[in-house]
Structure 1
């Protein structure tokens, strides 16, 4: 017997049943995808699908060469001819905008797009954080005012309501201003942190001159006092940025969406400006952020397109579904409606015909395969979780009848004309 080959650490199989270390099932996941598809459509967003492999330069240019994502976490490799560096996508926005620019999607006006799929980062796996993970993201491209900022936050809030987890999430917001304002704040921040360099940890010292905003996001408890007293970016905002931020907050207030202003909220990618936000929870341990996003008005131009204001967000699906599983609600059906059984010569074919008729009427039917006693088949019907059992016996073929049994309800068992099978099951199911 050959040695078993296991999945790569931090890359999970999605099975019909819960696993010991990964308790999300394929049926639960599918129900979430169906919910997301309806939700995105209700806001007028169209789906876009991009390759999971892109040129490495896309992420270096968009995310930032000095970020941890590009510097330490990407899966990067050379193409077979060694002339092109490729990377598995670590996030969805850059790929989405690359496609927008390449195919000139903004030619006829603004676009609202959404995506869903796997992303990859080489980091230490833990609850809610994996090396292959999945994101749902939305991008509103070509919209300038704070109204779209508020809409995209309201859009995410609606999803939390639908999933039953709104009470377990807190909205944090901030403004990063424009490029010039961030540059002025960066200079003040570097000077301030430099005066405390002897107290910084190694990560913060590394980030001091490459990505100093990320120092403010440090989870090191020894640095919290230093970070709390650091210059706030909001102190460097000009009139236009302050007006945009005030308009955004006013709309959130008008929509009844509660928020907390967090001056240390900076997000981890270089392309953000103006509005940034995160939805956080205290129910998932260290992995507090479930969804985050903000404006990236200069990114389309950076990727070779004409300048266009843009905003978007992404949510981690695994992290979100762990929250939904434990605290929310998501209706889904893993079991079939009907388990179709047969006994005797010719009964298997007739049961299969009835199963096809029921599927055409909208029922999920699991067809028993093989020849076993009715007692053994009934055990499998019970184990399947099906609500109803359809029994086709050889002695019923001549008179055109079938037997139905309600495995979970009060309808009992009855033999009826096969022509009444579909209507009877519909009545039973809706009763």
Structure 2
């Protein structure tokens, strides 16, 4: 079958072409430097982020058919975090440029860097994980069984959750910790590359691309990679600037706008793909991918905050946190701890999805730091309650301990 043969080929062209066109206004805005309303700039650039993220996700999935397992793991894991990483890079770079090491004062630019990474992680767990779990239960009236999958991801997420707690205690992302988190991400890629990799289970447009003849498929994948990456890199800065300016014009807290609007744009493809897997009766693939994304964010994204901040400032620095960002990191750690303990037994019932979704939705209505601290206690209480009722969940976090227990 060629690109234009039959209904499948036509549908493929429509899907890819439509998404590619969605990104054009945002790219045009960046290249021309046109002065438009901040909300329009944010909307057009955000559409470009969503478009690029979808195209990138399709290309990444199909690429697993054509490159070696080890290279696939390394390349695709990096590609998967490009949308949120581009946004985080803009925020961290602006913060470094505004920072005066002599005073050490937290600037406005510095005060909003943690918004994207904390919002992204909580969105993935509260909305993404819960969507896959609940949709699969509604379709099949069954729990999601991860007993043969996600062992590495769950164990690493538990480790990273503990590793980010010092950030809150010392009030900064220390440069040593940042490098350590990035190194841990590298270890994750290396371990992943040594595991047996099965042929990817593709759905939707990715499956249509996979059906193309080999040469055409590879050409399409390379073109999607290049186009999507270029779009995301180009529109990330005007997207962030548009959100900040819109918040100032509307009197809305720009931290909150960045914390939720930016992740909605960058994470929507991963969540939607996970939902598609659940709808088609393959929730394990969807949930594993979302857990992996959580690991990526708490290692590479958090680590990159301090590294890019230092590069922009022109000297090696730790990333300083104000009280609000420290609270947001603490809440993110609490959410991650509760989430990872709830799925530790690998058989995930609908109630887990319901708990995660309910708490996520409710906490959105309480953005004040004092309220966020209350939710820290709620999530921490949930995690401790789960452990108190079933201490085996802690041992089950790590595959080696599970095997010994068995």
TM-based fold match above 0.5: no
Larger Rg: 1
Higher relative contact order (CA 8 A, sep 6+): 2
Q: Report the TM-score when normalising by structure 1.
A: 0.21
Higher percent of residues as helix: 2
TM-score normalized by the length of structure 2: 0.22
More strand by share: 1
